Amino acid sequence: MDMDAKIQDFDHFADDWWNPKGRLVSLHKINPVRFDYFEEVASDLIGGLSGKRVLDLGCGGGLLSERFAGAASAVTGIDLSPLAIETAKKHREVTGGECLEIDYRLVALSDLKKEKPEKFDVVVCSEVLEHVDDLTGLIKDASSLLKENGLFFFSTINKTLKSRFLAIFVAEDLLGMLPQGTHDFERFIRPSELVRHFGECGVEVTELKGISYNPLKLAFYLSGDTSVNYLGYGVKG
């Protein structure tokens, strides 16, 4: 499936981006875990998120963008889904309006790069890497927009038999935590592969952590198990 087809799939989620009980329930459950981790790393390494310029790559309906903006970051959220961007803009106005500094844009990363904007302190690419055709190209373009010593946050899915069973069969087919067909196992990314791609683009991956799911509490949590979902960050040299 090409990226354009995937974008059309995500267009169908317009009514679910901000519905915690809708078809994107897993994103709502995982969002606090990933943001809290990113915020803690930023606090330790760059003095926090306040006043920092953040690029949210593949922002969807704005779940992460609003969290970063709520921490007083100046956020640019980009996506190729018109309905996702429209949904994100509408939700920003309802929840924060001018209090949330977010510039949502319907633009490709390659086109944003051509505009040569002021570079970002943070680039975040969460639940996006496993949907792209040219992983190295995306990381290269995004890294070029990152300041020296800037942070590249990411979260994605490992390519293992366990992830195929849990992230596709259980999450999509059995529990309906995501719409069927959301993920393609062939696009899942082994951590070693991701580290190599980042290294080729001048970004040193400094930490990897797993995100595990507790079925009794119906909640995600950080762990040492990277066999399914994992996240981390790299530093641009």
Q: Is the pLDDT of residue 143 over 70?
A: yes
**What amino acid is encoded at 10 in this protein?**
F
- State the pLDDT at residue 9: 53
Mean pLDDT of 219-227: 96
Q: Is the pLDDT of residue 1 over 60?
A: no
Of residues 207 and 170, the one with the higher pLDDT is: 207
Q: Phi and psi dihedrals of 217, rounded to 5?
A: -95, -5
As a whole-number percent, the residues of the chain with pLDDT over 70 amount to 92
Q: Which domains does the chain have, with CATH numbers?
A: 3-236 (3.40.50.150)
Mean pLDDT of 67-96: 93
Find tokens 């981790």 and name the residue.
Answer: 37
Q: Half-sphere exposure of residue 149, counting CA atoms within 13 Å on the CB side?
A: 4
Contact between 34 and 64 (Cβ < 8 Å): yes
pTM of the entire predicted model: 0.91
- Which of 5-19, 32-46, 156-170, 183-197 has the least mean pLDDT? 5-19
Mean pLDDT of 186-213: 96
Q: Is the pLDDT of residue 110 over 80?
A: yes
Residue 45: closest CA among 124, 142, 152, 151: 151
Q: Half-sphere exposure of residue 137, counting CA atoms within 13 Å on the CB side?
A: 7
30-40 pLDDT per residue, tens: 999 999 999 99
- State the pLDDT at residue 71: 97
Q: How far is CA 223 from the centre of its chain?
A: 18
The residues near 16 (Cβ < 8 Å, ≥ 6 apart) are 22, 23, 24
Q: Is the pLDDT of residue 75 over 70?
A: yes
Give the integer Cα–Cα distance in Å for 201 and 209.
21
DSSP, collapsed to helix, strand or coil, labels residue 232 as strand
- State the pLDDT at residue 10: 57
DSSP, collapsed to helix, strand or coil, labels residue 161 as helix
Question: Helices 82-95 and 63-70 meet at what angle, rounded to 10?
Answer: 40
Give the integer Cα–Cα distance in Å for 106 and 100.
18
Mean pLDDT of 53-63: 96
The residues near 145 (Cβ < 8 Å, ≥ 6 apart) are 55, 112, 113, 117, 119, 120, 123
What is the DSSP code string of 139-156? HHHHHHTEEEEEEEEEEE
Contact between 75 and 65 (Cβ < 8 Å): yes
